[in-house]
Amino acid sequence: MSLTTPKIAFIGAGSVVFTQGLLADLLAFPELRGAHIALHDIDPERLDTARGAAQFIADERTGRDGDGPRPRITAHAERRAALSDADFVINIVQVGMRESTRTDFEIPARYGLRQTIGDTLGIGGIFRALRTFPLLKSLAEDIAEVCPDAWLLNYTNPMTMNIQYLAQATGMTRVVGLCHSVYWTVRDLSDLLGVPHEEVTYRAAGVNHQAWLLRLEHQGADLYPRLDALIAEDPQLRRRVRVDMYRRLGYYPTETSEHSSEYVPWYLHHDSEIERLRLPVGAYLDIVDENVAAYEQTRDALAKGEPLTVEGTMEYAPQIIHSITTGTPRTVYGNVPNRGLIDNLPASGTVEVPCLVDGGGVQPTRVGALPAQCAALNRTYLSMNDLVVRAALEDDPRSIRQAAMTDPATAATLPVERIWDLCDDMVRAHADLLQPSLRATLGH
């Protein structure tokens, strides 16, 4: 596949800070500077801000004058217009925005249920998925009609549930979920160990936000013994959840301690563990406020004609687009249906594995079997995912409650009657964003 001027549609472009970083990465590739960037958002102000920011980045990266290629930037209130004849679709929609996120934290907190990020598993992850699924279904239907050959590159969480839903509800095959956790875990460990990250070779696999570094080497030497020595010497390192998990499981997990603490039953339920491991309960609410402030800063700077400070983010979507467009081979980490990629995880689940990318598209690689202890945690994670997706596919509100019962952190905190009560309260709060069949309250 070779596209001299690909059309790239941004769905949810009003997530302006993330859009800016992706555009900076895209336009760093000379071959992509003539691309058509089609922006869509349902919020007119955010869409206008995204358009202004995109134009600024285009001017900075490609020059306001001169004979070189320049991107075409269009903004669309109507989604199908943005999607029409697109070659790539980047989904960064957050359904419900800040208000729904606050609900995801505030109602569980009344039940004594602690969350740190709440976007992947747990009550927060369940209801973020359920209010995202209707958007994903309609987006997939539009893609099938107006750009059927496009690749859908999804950044919207909860990643694993969203990709499983897309595969099972829509039959999409040209879809991959993207997350920067593997890349930045390796970067951070390289810095910690004092080795150049570009010289580190590694292999990871598992599920999104709970994959495992199966191999970590520098010039052929295993880096895990050096990491062990650092951890033994530094008591502060031992006050991190994922270091604690690594010491006990033998493989380093690929997401932050805040995230990692939510996917297991061992930490958030215990005051002593929150103190020992310095866990910031409710941290994501601060992040949401910071994102809103960053958006407002961008909006105000554009209105005043002030320059924006935009740096590249090393995200995978621009790399995938460049590889498919130019045929340049590279490896990224993607979230895709399992289908035999990891032997000891469910075939229906979404797994995160190395993917080869070139002019032929995104090609996941087979990993084989994970270490038994790592697969055991991943299977619990995927079992909960499966019940959430089943709720939507089968119009079964009981499956929502069963998913919450299966979730490790929720089950460690609440008895089943309280879990069902909590789900009823969450359904009432989010009802307008859920598919109608899932709006029922069930009691005990």
What angle do the packed helices 283-304 and 16-27 form, to 10 degrees?
70
Contact 300/282 with Cβ under 8 angstroms?
no
Residue 157 confidence (pLDDT) above 80: yes
pTM value is 0.95
Distance (Å) of CA 429 to CA 106, 354, 389, 434: 11, 39, 20, 10
Q: Name the E strands within 233-337.
A: 252-253, 330-337
Q: Is residue 88, in this structure, part of any structural domain at all?
A: yes
Distance (Å) of CA 349 to CA 84, 352, 366: 30, 10, 15
pLDDT at 84: 97
Q: Which residue, chain included where needed, has tokens 């309260």?
A: 425
Q: Is residue 319, in this structure, part of any structural domain at all?
A: yes
Contact 151/176 with Cβ under 8 angstroms?
yes
Contact 58/71 with Cβ under 8 angstroms?
yes
Nearest CA to 205 among 195, 216, 196, 194? 216
Nearest CA to 209 among 244, 257, 274, 268? 257
Residue 1 confidence (pLDDT) above 70: no
Q: Is residue 141, in this structure, part of any structural domain at all?
A: yes
Distance (Å, rounded) from C-alpha 163 to C-alpha 300?
Answer: 35
Distance (Å, rounded) from C-alpha 363 to C-alpha 103?
Answer: 38
pLDDT tens figures, 243-273? 999 999 999 999 999 999 999 999 999 999 9
How many domains in the chain?
Answer: 1
Nearest CA to 208 among 169, 246, 245, 263? 263
Strand partners, 429: none
Which H, E and C letters describe 394-434, residue by residue? Answer: CCCHHHHHHHHHHCHHHHHHCCHHHHHHHHHHHHHHHHHHC
pLDDT tens figures, 312-343? 888 999 999 999 999 999 999 999 999 999 99
Distance (Å, rounded) from C-alpha 37 to C-alpha 54?
Answer: 9
Distance (Å, rounded) from C-alpha 299 to C-alpha 4?
Answer: 32
Q: Is residue 97, in this structure, part of any structural domain at all?
A: yes
Q: Is residue 274, in this structure, part of any structural domain at all?
A: no
pLDDT mean across residues, the chain:
94
Over range 1-15, report the average pLDDT: 82
Distance (Å, rounded) from C-alpha 283 to C-alpha 286?
Answer: 6
Residue 431 buriedness (CB in 10 A; 0-12 / 13-18 / 19+) = middle
Over range 190-208, report the average pLDDT: 96
* C-alpha of 106 from chain center: 22
pLDDT tens figures, 27-79? 999 999 999 999 999 999 999 999 999 999 898 877 655 567 889 999 999 99
Q: Is residue 70, in this structure, part of any structural domain at all?
A: yes
Residue 140: domain span: 7-178+295-326
Contact 320/155 with Cβ under 8 angstroms?
no
How long is the chain?
444
Q: Is residue 299, in this structure, part of any structural domain at all?
A: yes
Q: Strand pairing of 350-358 and 330-337?
A: antiparallel
Distance (Å, rounded) from C-alpha 365 to C-alpha 353?
Answer: 7
Distance (Å, rounded) from C-alpha 172 to C-alpha 175?
Answer: 6
> Which CATH number do you get for residue 129?
3.40.50.720
Q: Name the E strands within 301-373.
A: 330-337, 350-358, 361-364
Q: Which residues are catalytic?
A: 180
Eight-state DSSP code of residue 237: G
Q: Is residue 115, in this structure, part of any structural domain at all?
A: yes
Q: Cα-flanking dihedrals φ and ψ of residue 324, to 5°? A: -70, -35
pLDDT tens figures, 109-134? 999 999 999 999 999 999 999 999 99
pLDDT tens figures, 219-251? 999 999 999 999 999 999 999 999 999 999 999
Structure-block tokens of residue 7: 């059309």
Amino acid at 7: K
pLDDT tens figures, 336-378? 999 999 999 999 999 999 999 999 999 999 999 999 999 999 9
Contact 365/352 with Cβ under 8 angstroms?
no
Structure-block tokens of residue 55: 């134009």
